[in-house]
Amino acid sequence: MRYFERAELARRYHLYRARVHAQVVQEIAASRPARALNAVLDVACGTGHSTEALTALSPVVCACDVSPAMLSMARKTALAAHFVRGNAESLPFSHSTFDLVTASMALHWFDAPRFVEEASRVLKASGELWAYNLFFPGVLFGDESFFAWHRERYLPQYPAPARHSETLANLLQCAQRPLEFAEKRKLSYEVSLAAIELRSYLTTQSNIEAALRRGETLRDVDAWLDDELAPFFRESASQRFVYSGYAEIAVSIQPQP
């Protein structure tokens, strides 16, 4: 099931998703400061937030996504990048093209074994794959009750749809693969959000999209969230939240043709 293809959702995704990708890119750059990145690829680029950040790393940044609506936004976001429609399991690029392949908040939607094969195919020898996932864990600085609300009110009201749970590390350990797992790195960033910004961000998540597909209206979702979130913003117009996750890093170990 694809949850991020509608034009209206692409618009909300572009406007309200947290812009933390540049911080991840800084970690990529710091991991091997002497490494040349002549060409990089951003798979499942969405509206181009992750792609735009990558343009600071390399003179050639390519990106692909299966959704025309997402790509339309992405082309306006990362003007220096090259975009093409394509899916993760059949990348429309030649062998041994890229020094780095990234997949931001997307691996759990892929057929992961096929994506690994494709990532390895388009990577140069010793090239790296960074599959990173960032999510909203429901942590508000200074108010532990928000975590309880997130777990006991929000997620039961809007449960997350099914997705793949296999990690890149487990995938690469289970069979002979053309990539070697290198490390799993924790990521944690702070984001400051007003109530309407938090509500708008939450409506970009796949659980809300699933609710809309079941027949709920965005107006009703917005109204429910506004009522539920208001108590957490009585003392301040904005609050500081955690946006966290991890990056799984793998290295191409097979000689390329």
Structural domains present in the chain: 7-136+163-190+242-252 (3.40.50.150)
Look at residue 127 and give its three-state secondary structure: strand
d(CA 197, CA 82): 30
Distances (CA, A) of 71 to 97, 194, 251: 21, 28, 28
Helix 195-202 and helix 7-16, axial crossing angle in degrees, nearest 10: 140
Beta strand pairing status for 98-104 and 40-43?
A: parallel
Q: What does each of the 257 residues of the chain score in pLDDT, given as a tens digit?
A: 444 556 778 888 889 998 999 999 999 999 876 678 999 999 999 999 999 999 999 999 999 999 999 999 999 999 999 999 999 999 999 999 999 999 999 999 899 999 999 999 999 999 999 999 999 999 999 999 999 999 999 999 999 988 888 888 888 876 566 889 999 999 999 999 999 999 999 999 989 989 998 999 999 999 999 999 999 999 999 999 999 999 999 999 866 55
d(CA 99, CA 34): 13
Based on C-alpha coordinates, what's the Rg of the chain?
A: 19
